[in-house]
Amino acid sequence: MTLPASIGRYRIDSKLGQGASGIVYCGFDPMNARHVAIKTIPPELWHLTEGRQLASRLLREAVVTQSFSHPNVTTVYASGEEQGIPFLAMELHQGQPLKEYIHKRDTRPLRTRIVDIMLQTLAGLGYIHALGIIHGDLKPANIILLAEGAVKITDFGAARFAKEYTPGMSKVTGTHGYMAPEQLMGQRTDQRADLFAAGVILHELLTGVKPFAGHGTHDITRNILTATPSDPTSFDMSIPAPFYAVLKKALAKRPRDRFQNAETFQESLTLADQNRYAPALNPDGEEGSVQQE
């Protein structure tokens, strides 16, 4: 594929990747003397319906991310158009996706590193949730581990403002295996769907497998809606028992039974690492939050 020489004021040096939400180039910003990631629409799609849909999604991403400023969230520097095609210029990460970190290791990562990754991820989620934004597609492929140990949440192509939900909004977006039950069923979602996805990621980090695996989307959907996550101590006896209690709460079927915010999830995870976490009981006598939807 022939690279464009430039997009906007940015010189294009190489292609970094291409996925469902667009194409990403490595570019150079002469105004600020720094390399950036440029996300835009593949040229071959410009005049197709798919390209117009991607352009609409990218414009929406620009609106959602324009005010981001947090150490655990990717910074978008600028947005614009090139020949009528939108693009985003954002922070260029030197690191690896969490997905690669999980699947390329011969042994499980140290528990201290797992807890650190999750606490940073939850810090980033807490920040965007405080802005009234739902990520909508949190998964290991959208979390970057930087060389110095920092964690960055990226790819807000499915993000939306929580207040935008209206009755009848039933379009299902996200990635199977990480979607909350209400998300799969096209029901109203809020920050607790992102926290469900974070619970899936925690299980995957601890055990190397997703809690609701299956042989296809039908199996995965059924397991998310009905199955109980496996106890991580059955994979590794050195994991403190309270981690299972944290996972069961994070992965509860009903949103009201989950962690209600990222901060509470962080606090509970820290206590579990100290072998001190004990879940509260809701009015039904079940483990879960007493807060209602």
CA distances 144 to 41, 52, 148, 172, 244, Å, are: 22, 28, 11, 25, 25
How far apart are the C-alpha atoms of 163 and 217, rounded to whole Å?
29
Of the candidates 1, 41, 37, 46, the residue with the CA atom closest to the CA atom of residue 21: 41
3-state secondary structure of 14: strand
Greatest CA separation for the chain: 63
> Nearest-CA neighbor of 22 among 1, 48, 43, 4?
43
User: CA-based angle 144:146:152, to the nearest 5?
Assistant: 40
Residues 170 and 213 sit within 8 Å (Cβ to Cβ): no
Catalytic residue among 137, 155, 257, 273: 137
Dist CA 14 CA 23 (whole Å): 11
Q: Left, alpha or beta for 250 (phi > 0: left; psi -120 to 50: alpha)?
A: alpha
Interior angle at CA 292, CA 288 and CA 293, nearest 5: 115
Active site annotation includes 231: no
Tell me the catalytic residues: 137
